[in-house]
A and B are shown apart, each in its own frame.
Chain A
Amino acid sequence: MLGSRYKKFIYSAALIAPLSFLLFSYAEPAERDIPKFFVPPPPFSEGIFPCSQCHKYMPVNRKQRKLEQFHTDIVLKHMPGGWCFDCHNPDDRDKLRLANGKLVSFEESYYICGQCHGVVFRDWKTGLHGKRTGMWDGKKQYLLCVHCHWPHEPRFKPIQPLPPPVKPTDIK
């Protein structure tokens, strides 16, 4: 009786051990493959951060509504039906909140974007998506997603092109 129990324990331990190893080995590189390159601070507009300087004494209103007093310039054209607290943390305003409840700082906002844009996030980590400056064989500057994409309306704004080359017929 005791022997068979003991055996069972051995079997389950033998089964769990490699699995847990797999789990840890999976979790570790996921943390590690975030580039350790120079990322400039997020592009906050003047005087807006830390958010808690205003929000500290305000009650949290979780109701989805039109903002009329502050942040009126923000029109959410990103993920229809979304609301501030999909990304912003209601309790500690200086942090962002992932879908799984984990808090991340504004410096690591790429985790927020990576929740939905997995392929782009993967490309960004390897250096394919996004602008890279610095050294091709050394210290590179990675930009945060929000440096190029306004997070509330992420599509690029059209810009004016520089002048076209002189046509051969226009050469005097």
Chain B
Amino acid sequence: MSKRTRSNPLGIKLDRRAFLKGAALGLAGTALPLNKADASFWEAFFQKHFREMNETEIKKVIERLEKEYGQKYKKEIEVGNEKAIPGVLFGYGLDLSRCIGCRRCVYACVKENNQSRDPQIHWISVLRFKKGEKWIDLENSERYYNPAQVPEPGYFYMPVQCQQCENPPCVRACPTQATWKEPDGIVVIDYNWCIGCRYCMAACPYGARHFNWAEPNVPQEELNPETHYLGNRPRYRGTVEKCTFCIQRTRNGKYPACVEICPVGARKFGNLLDPNSEIRYAIEHKRVFRLKEDLNTYPKFYYFFAYGL
């Protein structure tokens, strides 16, 4: 077959194949904003999936992120990469007979995990239920209660956050595998890999995932500089985020921020594989239940009433 060329007003003779190649390259180029053509942007663009990177690649990415965040927030920010501790499966307990619904946990979480202040993102929602009514009906609970003092007589409170399911529906729904379950049971998100399709939010039966509709806004002086790649590092617009049991704290042995702040000590945390942990004691000695057990998500978040009936 002879090469078909066509002439144009400029007099350039271009065969069909070369023209299409050029057009394809040109189109690919238009997909990238040219005003951000610095090296760090291209590195971020071609960054691999977190689980496919080796140690040196992760280190390089983290160095780049620390530099970026440092420039943006004008302070030193540490992005950690602690691995899951072998023989640890995190579990969480919440004593509903003691929670007074004061929302201290919500704001401690916001502070620790660098959630956006405006637009507001809260990883924990405290639900209020009337005593004695059909209460597991989450849709009819009250989130926006605002009395002068809590606890109010005739009500009880139930904080809901990510339940860290053993069989997480959000992970199955993610088309890019930007979210997955770590060996210690924490469901994490790689914010650099998330495309913001929000399928995971639709899949989550607990409403535990939150979307950054606008650029997250954290005041520079309030930013917590001790972060983790998979946890509380600053997020981007158009990414989904969620509770990670304070991965940056718990993988270093500390309690999550909500446990530390709770004024009544209703929140319990520990290793499910350690028979001496308080969470195991709760499961073995108290009547625990998990939210929406019928969906077979097997949450690692156990609610109980320590005083029983």
**Is residue B306 contacting chain A, with contact meaning CB distance below 8 A?**
yes
Q: Which of B102, B265, B271 contacts A162 (CB 8 A)?
A: B102
The stretch that binds A, out of B18-26, B48-56, B145-153, is B145-153
A-B pair count, CB < 8 Å, reads 98
Is A161 a contact partner of B147 (Cβ separation < 8 A)? yes
**Given contacts A130-B265, A136-B253, A163 and B146 within 8 Å (CB-CB):** yes
How close is A32's CB to chain B, nearest CB, in angstroms?
Answer: 14
How close is B207's CB to chain A, nearest CB, in angstroms?
Answer: 12
0 or 1 for each of A61-100: is its CB under 8 Å from B? (1 = yes): 0000000000000000000000000000000000000000
Is B265 a contact partner of A129 (Cβ separation < 8 A)? yes
**Given contacts A128-B278, A167-B144, A135 and B253 within 8 Å (CB-CB):** yes
How close is B164's CB to chain A, nearest CB, in angstroms?
Answer: 15
Majority-rule SS of A interface residues:
loop
* B280 closest partner in A (C-beta): A126
Given the complex, which residues of A lie within 8 Å of B255, measured CB to CB?
132-136
The stretch that binds A, out of B36-44, B66-74, B117-125, is B117-125
0 or 1 for each of A28-48: is its CB under 8 Å from B? (1 = yes): 000000000000000000000
Is B102 a contact partner of A161 (Cβ separation < 8 A)? yes
The stretch that binds B, out of A16-24, A101-109, A152-160, is A152-160
* A171 closest partner in B (C-beta): B119
Chain B positions 219-277 with a Cβ under 8 Å from a chain A Cβ:
250, 253-255, 259-260, 262-265, 268-271, 274, 277
Chain A positions 105-136 with a Cβ under 8 Å from a chain B Cβ:
123, 126-136
Given the complex, which residues of B lie within 8 Å of A161, measured CB to CB?
101-103, 145-147, 149-150
**Given contacts A129-B306, A159-B100, A164 and B146 within 8 Å (CB-CB):** yes
Is A131 a contact partner of B265 (Cβ separation < 8 A)? yes
**Given contacts A161-B103, A167-B144, A137 and B120 within 8 Å (CB-CB):** no
Given the complex, which residues of B lie within 8 Å of A171, measured CB to CB?
119
Given the complex, which residues of B lie within 8 Å of A162, measured CB to CB?
102-104, 106-107
Is A164 a contact partner of B102 (Cβ separation < 8 A)? no
In Å, the complex CA distance between A156 and B151 comes to 9
* B101 closest partner in A (C-beta): A161
**Is residue A138 contacting chain B, with contact meaning CB distance below 8 A?**
yes
In Å, the complex CA distance between A147 and B102 comes to 18
Given the complex, which residues of B lie within 8 Å of A143, measured CB to CB?
265
Is A138 a contact partner of B104 (Cβ separation < 8 A)? no
**Is residue B208 contacting chain A, with contact meaning CB distance below 8 A?**
no
Is A148 a contact partner of B265 (Cβ separation < 8 A)? yes
How close is A157's CB to chain B, nearest CB, in angstroms?
Answer: 9
Given A131-B264, A165-B144, 17 more A-B residue pairs with CB atoms under 8 Å apart are A123-B306, A128-B278, A128-B306, A129-B265, A131-B262, A131-B263, A131-B265, A132-B259, A134-B254, A136-B269, A138-B253, A148-B263, A159-B100, A159-B102, A161-B103, A161-B145, A161-B149
Can you give 29 A-B contacts (C-beta < 8 A)? A123-B281, A126-B278, A128-B306, A129-B265, A131-B263, A131-B264, A131-B265, A132-B268, A133-B259, A134-B254, A135-B253, A135-B254, A136-B254, A136-B269, A136-B277, A137-B88, A137-B253, A148-B265, A156-B100, A159-B100, A159-B149, A160-B102, A160-B149, A161-B146, A162-B103, A164-B103, A165-B106, A165-B125, A167-B144
